[in-house]
Structure 1
Amino acid sequence: METVRIRNPGMYWDIAANIHVPPAFDASKRYPAVISNHPIGSCKEQTAGNVYGEALARAGFVVIVPDASFQGASGGSPRWIEDPEQRVKDYRDVIDYAQALPYVDPERIGILGICGGGGYSVKATIIDKRIKALVTITGVNFGRLFREGFSAFDPVAALESMAAQRSAQIAGGDERVNNFLPASVEEGKAVGITDIDVLEATDYYRNRCVAEGSGTRMLVSHGAPAIAWDAFAFAETLLIQPMMVVVGDKPGGFGAYRDGLEIHGRAASTDKELVVVEGSSHYDLYDQPEPVGEALEKLIPFFEKHLG
């Protein structure tokens, strides 16, 4: 694995990314490539890299796993902005970089996204036809989630609060950073949290896969664009590439099961597959061997078919 810093023309900061290469890698050859995109609040060292990135590399793909702008080891200031349009731009900038690598075939580039990275990867595929195949793992439309659960189903009040916070900062007040998760599973239960997604996310980020670059937080004053954003807009006409949607059948508050069925139904692609991993939750598909293995058994042949 190699860590690189990506800055294309027109970029104002570096994107940090890990590149995973196949066994017996030969830089004189050209390989199919997959851009593997981490969840909201995550980083390149977690599931997008150490689970799916490594597995795809072992299967023969070059895999590039970027950190989101303003997060992890990537540049951008202020920190902890979660901007969907910037995320999609990041992915396209990484594709620019991948196309210039002498060992990547620019005609065989796919994209994979997990959780919010799945929704962002859908949008990137809608607008960028250099992407030849799409896989989402428990993908979430972050705009829909923010308008609903993340704003307590009152998005207008959330926008008003963000506007007030932005005004306060301009006047010299402190930044406010909201954490998506409690400090521990026990603390979450103590304050009455029962949702499987929130509790299992806390277990994943606090216990199972702790990483320095993982944020699980968001700068409040810059959150408004996410509320008015939709990962799936125009999918009925513009999402034409082959697509695989992987979800677990144990739904939680983040809504990946619902979003997965929606985008599978709406996409214009004539080659699309819905994989429901039975008995699995959103966060089982991050790192648990059996459900992850079932997902890989489907998605690796899918990418082999469409990327060669």
Structure 2
Amino acid sequence: MTTIQHVTYRNLGWDSAANLYLPPGFDESKKYPTIVSTHPIGSCKEQTSGNVYGQQLAEQGFVVLAFDASFQGASGGEPRFIEDPAIRVSDIRFAIDFLVAQPYVDAQRIGAIGICGGGAYTINAAITDHRIKALVSITGVNFGRLIREGFSQFDPLGALKAMAAQRTAEAQDAPRHVIDYLPESVEAGKQAGLKDIDVLEATEYYKSARGQQPNGATSGLFSFNSAAMAWDAFAHAETLLTQPLLVVIGDKPGAFGAYRDGWEIYGRAASAAKQIFVAEGWSHYDLYDKPDPVALAMAQVAPFFKEYL
């Protein structure tokens, strides 16, 4: 039986909160291959990164750390709900710093996995942090592209102008403008004319008992989103991403772009050992927690990490 420990550790100027998943029969005197698990945008460690992939990887014999992003969930940092890719990637590095200081972690066998935005953050972290020896992206989404396109209604310059005006107003004591990335319900989304599979399935996951968690806010501080506008999760992957890579995507494309991004990074990565697995008949949010597609993913993920860690 796996054990979950709640831990905190120092980040830049605040503490990060994380759940540490320990495998059955855990023995602190031994050294274990260890995996950092990164949650999606607007999510938290109690959702898919921890309770699904973290739990199942621990059952396979790995130590897994699922953490809350800075400014989000139970982690510290002010103002709240910042989604800054550079800091999100830095969070992964600090998670590794915590792990390599633990006596039961084999520092030469550290892997990383991420889901949705967390998948692309994991890729970006591995490009420049080669303490990560193998990595997996589950339906990974390049947040920079997404915010330039769909999240800015394909008007990035107009969005930047609005973000600049809002940040100036907030610096002059106006209230923070926190946006919810999703409608309040699937029905509300349909009534608003939304039809995209990713938007509606995200709403069904995050806004219902299926995936809803107190810290899974699906929110972002609008004025700070400009930090993502010029960011590319896959920058320099052609030369610097050399670790073994596994990309998992569903074959039902949606507006968040995981299908497109998955094939892009598979093509761009310099990794000699790289694989892409397409879960046929399943969508982006099916891969979050539905037993059948998760089982398909784990049938690739567990052997991959066992081979390369």
Q: TM-score range with shorter-chain normalisation?
A: over 0.9
Residues 112-123 of structure 1: pairs in structure 2 closer than 5 A: 112-123=113-124
Distance in 1 of aligned mates of 2:268 and 2:34: 26
Distance in 2 of aligned mates of 1:35 and 1:276: 23
Q: Secondary structure at the match of 1:223?
A: helix
Q: Secondary structure at the match of 2:261?
A: helix
Alpha-carbon deviations, 1:182-231, whole Å to 9, x = none?
00000000010000000000000011111011120101111111111110
Q: Which runs of 5+ in 1 are unaligned?
A: none
Q: Secondary structure at the match of 1:182?
A: coil
Aligned residue number for residue 216 of structure 2: 214
Distance in 2 of aligned mates of 1:20 and 1:248: 26
Residues 6-85 of structure 1: pairs in structure 2 closer than 5 A: 6-7=9-10, 11-85=12-86
Residues 45-194 of structure 1: pairs in structure 2 closer than 5 A: 45-194=46-195
Q: Secondary structure at the match of 2:43?
A: coil
Aligned residue number for residue 306 of structure 1: 308
- Where has structure 1 moved over 3 Å in runs of 4 or more? none
What's the offset of the Cα at 1:172? 1.9
What's the offset of the Cα at 1:248? 0.1
Alpha-carbon deviations, 1:101-146, whole Å to 9, x = none?
0110000000001000001001000000100001000000000010
Q: Which amino acid aligns with 2:6?
A: T
Which of 3, 8, 17 aligns to 2:6? It is 3
What's the offset of the Cα at 1:171? 1.8
Q: Which runs of 5+ in 2 are unaligned?
A: none
Aligned residue number for residue 294 of structure 1: 296
Distance in 1 of aligned mates of 2:299 and 2:113: 15
Distance in 2 of aligned mates of 1:268 and 1:131: 15
Q: Which amino acid aligns with 1:232?
A: F
Residues 248-287 of structure 1: pairs in structure 2 closer than 5 A: 248-287=250-289
What's the offset of the Cα at 1:174? 1.1
Distance in 2 of aligned mates of 1:95 and 1:213: 23
Distance in 1 of aligned mates of 2:51 and 2:217: 17
Aligned residue number for residue 234 of structure 2: 232
RMSD between aligned alpha carbons?
Answer: 0.6
Distance in 2 of aligned mates of 1:20 and 1:170: 41
Distance in 1 of aligned mates of 2:253 and 2:211: 22
Alpha-carbon deviations, 1:56-81, whole Å to 9, x = none?
00000000001000000000000000
Distance in 1 of aligned mates of 2:130 and 2:232: 19
Q: Which amino acid aligns with 2:295?
A: G
Distance in 2 of aligned mates of 1:169 and 1:22: 46
Distance in 1 of aligned mates of 2:258 and 2:223: 26
Distance in 2 of aligned mates of 1:306 and 1:282: 26
Q: Secondary structure at the match of 1:203?
A: helix
Alpha-carbon deviations, 1:165-186, whole Å to 9, x = none?
0111122211111100000000
Distance in 2 of aligned mates of 1:284 and 1:268: 29
Q: Which amino acid aligns with 1:53?
A: G
Q: If the length of structure 2 is used for normalisation, what is the TM-score? A: 0.98
Distance in 2 of aligned mates of 1:2 and 1:74: 15
Q: When the two structures are aligned, how many residues end up with a matched partner?
A: 305
Q: If the length of structure 1 is used for normalisation, what is the TM-score? A: 0.98
